[in-house]
């Protein structure tokens, strides 16, 4: 049976891991080399998994009451602001109603962030769904990047200048607690179609990554995924490395085509991929890939302008189109 010393050692290990995660987050953000970014992201994911396993163990073995050197009357929620007890903040809660701490945060650009939180034990979802996230009294729905088998919930969010939720997220720090609603809606894989055309702008890629991770994890076969993602600038493709790696590893399953709409901007110097708005690529891609309406289900996720443009092209051609609007 575990004693108090074992519990303290396990909790200290989790706290140390959290400190390493914060350091890794900063290193990933400041790295220029894409291979190094990918390596650091993988290390961060493994560290997050280790932290959750440690804290699951602590939750199973510790008795109720104060932990470490915290005063007996401390508020466990408000203490998440203190670096001393940041490890306590990452204990995986039994229910989403308890709120969850931020495990890691990365600023992809000044207007795009990725962050992860532990998945509550009662939080079960279907790949492609969204969840309402609350912080500072403000709540907004975001699509999940993570797949149902993963121990963390992962988000990729665009920050809107002047937006109430965006301002809360700009200030959000590792260890800070956020509220979670139940999973809902979203875009879900329809296995009745062998081909799936997935069109997105920037963060609209989220549900498609969730679906792909889940599909590959389950070892399923018989479907092919065509992902077209548009952005103004090449640094806005938050999961480009992962998607290119998956496409290279599973060429019979995944094709990924990123395109930038402002190729002549200095920020896109060196870009050698597709150019133009993603909605202008759709019909030509269908022709090249030999996709028809009878065997292909189309999905579009992102801003309403792109959704409308894709719909005007695909619906008259007989394609079924599932959409999620991020406006």
The average pLDDT across 290-317 equals 97
Single pTM value for the model: 0.75
pLDDT in tens, 189-244: 999 999 999 999 999 999 999 999 999 999 999 999 999 999 999 999 999 999 99
Does the pLDDT at position 79 exceed 70? no
The average pLDDT across 55-72 equals 44
Measured between alpha carbons, how far is 7 from 62 in angstroms, rounded to an integer? 7
> Looking at per-residue confidence, does 326 or 20 come out higher?
326
Match domain 4-184 to its CATH number in 3.30.390.50, 2.40.30.10, 2.60.15.10, 3.40.109.10. 2.40.30.10
Beta strands at 152-158 and 224-231: parallel, antiparallel or unpaired = unpaired
Mean pLDDT of the chain: 86
In the prediction, which pLDDT does 22 show? 66
Measured between alpha carbons, how far is 306 from 299 in angstroms, rounded to an integer? 12
Q: How confident is residue 61, by pLDDT bands cut at 50, 70 and 90?
A: low
What kind and span of H or E run contains 64? none
The average pLDDT across 288-297 equals 98
In the prediction, which pLDDT does 80 show? 29
Q: How confident is residue 322, by pLDDT bands cut at 50, 70 and 90?
A: very high
Domain boundaries of the chain, sorted by first residue: 4-184, 195-325
Which residue, 237, 207, 213, 239, is CA-closest to 142? 207
CATH number of the domain located at residue range(s) 195-325 in this protein = 3.40.50.80
Q: Write out the DSSP string of 218-270.
A: HT--S-EEEEEEEESSGGG-TTHHHHHHHHHH-TTTEEEEEEES-TTSGGGTT
């Amino acid at each position: 049976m575990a004693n108090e010393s074992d519990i303290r050692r396990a909790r200290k290990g989790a706290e140390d891991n959290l400190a390493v995660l914060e350091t890794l987050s900063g290193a990933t953000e400041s790295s220029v080399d894409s291979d190094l970014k990918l390596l650091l992201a993988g290390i961060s994911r493994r560290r997050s998994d280790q932290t959750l396993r440690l804290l699951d163990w602590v939750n199973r073995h510790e008795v109720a009451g104060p932990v470490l050197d915290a005063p007996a009357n401390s508020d466990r929620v408000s203490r998440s602001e203190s670096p001393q007890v940041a490890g306590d903040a990452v204990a995986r809660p039994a229910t989403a109603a308890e709120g969850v701490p931020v495990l890691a945060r990365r600023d992809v650009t000044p207007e795009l962030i990725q962050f992860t939180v532990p998945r509550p034990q009662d939080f079960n979802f279907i790949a492609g769904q969204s969840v309402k996230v609350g912080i500072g009294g403000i709540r907004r729905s975001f699509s999940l990047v993570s797949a149902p088998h993963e121990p963390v919930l992962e988000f990729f969010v665009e920050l809107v200048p002047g937006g109430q939720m965006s301002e809360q997220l700009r200030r959000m720090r590792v260890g800070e607690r956020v509220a979670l609603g139940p999973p809902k809606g979203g875009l879900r894989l329809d296995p009745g179609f062998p081909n799936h055309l997935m069109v997105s702008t920037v963060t609209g890629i989220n549900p498609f990554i969730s679906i792909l991770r889940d599909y590959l994890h389950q070892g399923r076969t018989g479907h092919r995924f065509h992902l077209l993602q548009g952005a103004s600038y090449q640094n806005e493709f938050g999961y480009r490395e992962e998607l290119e790696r998956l496409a290279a590893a599973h060429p019979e399953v995944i094709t990924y085509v990123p395109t930038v709409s402002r190729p002549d901007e200095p920020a896109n110097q060196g870009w050698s991929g597709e150019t133009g708005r993603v909605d202008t690529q759709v019909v030509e891609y269908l022709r090249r890939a030999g996709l028809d309406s009878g065997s292909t289900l189309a999905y579009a996720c992102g801003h309403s302008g792109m959704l409308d443009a894709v719909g005007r092209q695909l619906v008259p051609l007989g394609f079924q189109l599932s959409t999620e609007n991020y406006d």
